[in-house]
Amino acid sequence: MLSILKRVGLDGFLLSLIGAVLLAIVWPELGRSGGLIGLQNFANYGVAIVFLLYGLTLSPQKIREGLFNWRLHVVVQLATFLLFPLLVLACLRALGARVPPEMALGFFYLAALPSTVSSSVAMTSIAKGNVPGAIFNASLSSLLGVFITPLWVNGYLHSQGVSFPLGPVVLKIVLLVLVPIVVGQLLRPWMVSWLSRHAALTKLMDRATILAIVLNSFSDSVAEGVWRSHSTAALVGMAVASLSLFVLVSLLMWSGCRALGFNREDNIAGVFCGSKKSLAAGVPMAKVMFGANPAIGLIIAPIMLYHFLQLVIVSVVARRLGAQVR
C-alpha cells in the first residue's frame, strides 16, 4: 500500500498535512492560539527553524554549477514572479465577486510565492533534467521571494483598499527568513558532516514545524468560524482552480521553453521549477504576514492544495520522462 501511495506522489508528509487539517476541524481547541498546547509560540518562531535548516542544507558548490545558464534563470524567475501573479490577477478580475475575498487573497498569495526547492530538484533529477540549473533557480527564487512576495501582496491588498504594513512585514521576514538562511550558510562548514549523518532528523524538524503552523492556522480559522461561511461548492472550486492553474502554467512553460530552443534537460528544469510553488516557504511566511487574520487557514488552503497536486502530477510525469532516457 505504501509503495502505491509513493508512486502517485503521496508520502507521509502529505498524509500528515491532511491529518493536521482534519484534526483542526474536529478538535480546534487543541491547536488554536491560546489553546490546550499553546502551539502559537512554536508556530511563530518555528519559521526561523525552517529557514535555518534550509541555510544549513543549501550547497553553495551546487548553486555555482548552474550559475551561468542565464536564459534558463530568466525564464524561471519571470514565470515564478510575473507570469503566475498576472494570470491569477486576470482570473480574479474575470470572476469578480464570485470569489470570496479571503480565497482570492489566498490564490494571489500562492501566485506570488517562490518556487519550491527540494521537490523541484528531486523531480528534475528523476526526469534526467538539468539538476544544477534546478538547484540554482529554486534557491534564487527562495531568496528573491523574501522581498518580492510581500511587495506583490502589498500591491494586491492596496488595490483592494486594504492596508498592509509592508515595512514591518519585510523586516520581520528578513529577521525570520533571510537571517536564518545566512546563519545556516555561515554554520554549514562546521555542521555539514553532522547534517549528513542526521539528515533524517533535520528533515523531521523541518516538516514538524510546517505541520505545527498548519495545525495552528487551521485551528484558529475553525475556532473563528471562518469555514462555516463557505459552501462545499466553493471549496471544490478552489481545488479545481488549483489544478487548472498548475496545468496552465506547466503547458505555458513547456511551450515557451521549446520555443526558445532549450535542450531537453533545460526544458525539464524550466517546467519543473517555473510551475511549482513552495509550501515550505509559503506556510511560514503566511504566518508572518497574515498571523493576526482569523482567515489564515483559508488563505493558506490554496498553497496546500497546489502543493498536493504538483507533487502527485509531477512525480508521475518525472518518472515517465526519466524512463525515456536509456
The answer to whether residue 1 scores a pLDDT higher than 80 is no
In a domain, 12, yes or no: no
In a domain, 322, yes or no: no
pLDDT for position 326: 61
Please tell me the pTM assigned to this model: 0.85
Q: Which of the four pLDDT bands, split at 50, 70 and 90, describes residue 213?
A: confident
Those residues whose C-beta lies under 8 Å from the C-beta of residue 72, and which sit 6 or more positions away, are 130, 133, 137, 262, 266, 269, 270
Across residues 266-274, what is the average pLDDT?
94
State the Cα angle at 263 between 130 and 75, rounded to 5°: 75
The answer to whether residue 264 scores a pLDDT higher than 80 is yes
In a domain, 109, yes or no: yes
Positive or negative: CA dihedral 191, 44, 42, 219? negative
pLDDT for position 43: 63
Domain count, the chain: 1
Tally of CB atoms within 10 A around 1: 5
In a domain, 9, yes or no: no
- Cell numbers that stand for 163 in this block: 492596508
In a domain, 15, yes or no: no
Cα–Cα distance for residue pair 86/253, rounded to 1 Å: 15
Across residues 243-253, what is the average pLDDT?
95
Range of the domain at 262: 39-315
Which range has the worst mean pLDDT, 3-17, 112-126, 156-170, 192-206?
3-17
In a domain, 124, yes or no: yes
Cα–Cα distance for residue pair 70/63, rounded to 1 Å: 13
Cβ burial, residue 164 (10 Å; 0-12/13-18/19+) = middle
* Helix, strand or coil, per DSSP, at residue 181: helix
In a domain, 220, yes or no: yes
- Cell numbers that stand for 73 in this block: 534563470
pLDDT for position 10: 55
- Nearest CA to 111 among 92, 137, 135, 138? 92
- Cell numbers that stand for 221 in this block: 480559522
- Cell numbers that stand for 62 in this block: 551546487
More confident: 227 or 314 = 314
CATH at 222: 1.20.1530.20
Q: What is the pLDDT of residues 155-205, one digit of tens each?
A: 999 998 888 888 888 998 888 888 988 999 999 988 888 877 877 777 777
Q: Which of the four pLDDT bands, split at 50, 70 and 90, describes residue 2?
A: very low
More confident: 16 or 73 = 73
State the Cα angle at 198 between 193 and 203, rounded to 5°: 120
pLDDT for position 287: 83
pLDDT for position 231: 64
Using a pLDDT cut of 90, give the percent of the chain over it.
30
Cα–Cα distance for residue pair 209/47, rounded to 1 Å: 7
Across residues 218-241, what is the average pLDDT?
78
Q: Helical H runs in the chain?
A: 2-7, 12-26, 28-31, 39-57, 60-65, 70-78, 84-95, 101-112, 118-126, 131-159, 166-173, 179-197, 199-223, 232-259, 264-274, 279-290, 296-323
Identify whether the C-beta of residue 295 lies closer than 8 Å to the C-beta of residue 102. yes
In a domain, 173, yes or no: yes
HEC letters along 111-147: HHCCCCCHHHHHHHHHCCCCHHHHHHHHHHHHHHHHH
Q: Which of the four pLDDT bands, split at 50, 70 and 90, describes residue 240?
A: very high
Q: What is the pLDDT of residues 70-110, one digit of tens each?
A: 999 999 999 999 999 999 999 999 988 888 888 999 999 99
Across residues 242-247, what is the average pLDDT?
94
Q: What is the pLDDT of residues 133-149, one digit of tens each?
A: 988 898 899 899 999 99
